[in-house]
Amino acid sequence: MKERHGFSGKLGYVLATAGSAVGLGNIWRFPYLAAKYGGGAFLLVYLILAMTFGYTMIMAETAIGRMTQKSPVSAFASLTQNKLIRAGGWLNAIIPILIVPYYSVIGGWVCRYLYGYIIGQSQIMADEATFSEFLGSPITMELCFMVFTAMTMLIIFGGVQNGIEKVSKILMPVLALLAVAVVIFSVTRPGALEGVKYFLIPNFKNLSVMTVVSALGQMFYSLSIAMGILITFGSYTKKDVDIESTTIQVEIFDTVIAVLAGLMVIPAVFAFSGGDSAALNKGPALMFVTLPKVFDSMGGTWIGILFFTLVLLAALTSSVSLAETACSTFEDELGWSRSKSAALVSVIMIVLGTFSCLGFNVWAGFTPLNMDILSFFDFLTNSVMMPISAAAICILILKATGIKAIEDEICISSKFRRRKVFRFVLRYLSIALLAVILISSIADAFGLIKI
């Protein structure tokens, strides 16, 4: 049998998992959701969910991976005969293959902004028209997307220990340092303190059902849950890695970076615009449209370079984890070599990513469910497939392996202090909460409610 790739040890595993978790989700998505859905109230709900539901799902997935030593499809197949539950393994495997192309398109936008700052176009980047002009130009978009894709695939061709582990070991600590530097810059701007208060102090007037639903979806996205990633990484770990302590470390790291990103973005928006609701509700454009204006008014080319370097590093480690999972599925299921699998993943990335790029310009008229192609892929994977695949993992545990088998796997190397939380969430909360995300996001897409 072919020897399975593996992390060299605990540090490699923690850094690669943290590298997967920390990405555009933390730096681009978290601040705009927090700004929109209640600031401190959103943060509080997010923290509670991460410590309970997120904790349980990461532990469960990693344990399934380590127990079976397989990537999602074979892992599910080796644990149950039930065809419907087995399909959940495929769902876990397919999601990363569908996410990584559009994720790389956004990675390409980050490359474009970084390049802009490097060549000293700070003022042009700050112009609102720049972002829409960029989206309107298929060639520039495609070029930036290809640059990001090439960077991702270079790391993948390197293999687990040479590629992903080495890169994460260097990038993750650098990322944390850069984040602190940008936060210090941002919160010391005049007027920024109001933003710090808005973001850190919960005001329960701002709490709504949508606060909870969006925090839940964000928590899954940010921690890379239910996308086959943690099962795959779990399969690369050795039995002596303490799953509980590593899970807690990864969660803390991911949350710290998200909070730092919130502190970079939200106070800066307050300093720049006085925190009016139009500025706070900018949504996905917040990072690409509002922030460059903020940077410009702060007079900094260097702050732009620093910030977008940070985002690029974070996005890269996440896209590598997505592509890695996709490769590992092909290696395991088709028995292909790593380079052949990586070549196939590259082709899929280029084809689907190109669709997403063209959706903003040449094919702008094609709008499934009233969304551009990129948003449609995002919706399909995160709002529809992800809750189902998370539910499949919970059902696999509840109906096939039993909670006890997973607990035993965890206990091989962990004290398992929060066992009660784990059991409670799996037995009583998980499926109901997942159903809430699925129903509310589909209702939102069909315009039945407004998220």
- Summarize as ranges the residues that interact with ligand PHE (CB under 6 A): 20-21, 23-26, 99, 221-222, 224, 227, 229, 318, 321-322
Q: Residues 6 or more apart from 175 whose CB is under 8 A from it?
A: 22, 257, 310, 313, 314
Kindly state the smallest distance separating residue 330's Cβ from ligand PHE, in Å.
Answer: 17
Is the CB of 20 or the CB of 130 nearer to ligand PHE? 20
Kindly state the smallest distance separating residue 257's Cβ from ligand PHE, in Å.
Answer: 9
Is the CB of 385 or the CB of 410 nearer to ligand PHE? 385
For 209, 213, 435, the CA distances from 440, given in Å and listed in that order, are: 10, 8, 8
Is the CB of 23 or the CB of 101 nearer to ligand PHE? 23
Is the CB of 145 or the CB of 221 nearer to ligand PHE? 221
For residues 126 and 296, is the Cβ–Cβ distance under 8 A?
A: yes
Is the CB of 30 or the CB of 270 nearer to ligand PHE? 30
Measured distance between the N- and C-terminal CA atoms of the chain, rounded to whole angstroms: 50
Closest alpha carbon to 311 in 73, 114, 92: 114
CA distance 60 to 58: 5
Kindly state the smallest distance separating residue 414's Cβ from ligand PHE, in Å.
Answer: 23
Kindly state the smallest distance separating residue 420's Cβ from ligand PHE, in Å.
Answer: 27
What DSSP designation does 365 have?
T
Written as six digits, the tokens of 284 are: 């996905």
φ and ψ at residue 189, rounded to 5 degrees: -75, 150
Kindly state the smallest distance separating residue 382's Cβ from ligand PHE, in Å.
Answer: 8
Closest alpha carbon to 319 in 446, 163, 92, 120: 163
Tell me the residue type at 295.
Answer: F
CA distance 381 to 114: 28
Is the CB of 56 or the CB of 222 nearer to ligand PHE? 222
For 57, 71, 374, 408, the CA distances from 411, given in Å and listed in that order, are: 16, 21, 41, 5
For residues 414 and 450, is the Cβ–Cβ distance under 8 A?
A: no
Kindly state the smallest distance separating residue 325's Cβ from ligand PHE, in Å.
Answer: 8
Kindly state the smallest distance separating residue 311's Cβ from ligand PHE, in Å.
Answer: 10
For 9, 182, 192, 359, the CA distances from 262, given in Å and listed in that order, are: 32, 11, 12, 29
Is the CB of 235 or the CB of 414 nearer to ligand PHE? 235
Kindly state the smallest distance separating residue 21's Cβ from ligand PHE, in Å.
Answer: 5
Kindly state the smallest distance separating residue 120's Cβ from ligand PHE, in Å.
Answer: 29
CA distance 185 to 130: 24
Q: Which residue is nearest to ligand PHE (CB)?
A: 25
Label residue 84 exposed, middle or buried (CB < 10 Å: 0-12, 13-18, 19+).
exposed
- Cβ atoms within 10 A of the Cβ of 166, count? 18
Is the CB of 229 or the CB of 342 nearer to ligand PHE? 229
Kindly state the smallest distance separating residue 203's Cβ from ligand PHE, in Å.
Answer: 26
Is the CB of 301 or the CB of 319 nearer to ligand PHE? 319
Written as six digits, the tokens of 25 are: 């989700």
Is the CB of 117 or the CB of 220 nearer to ligand PHE? 220
CA distance 223 to 360: 28
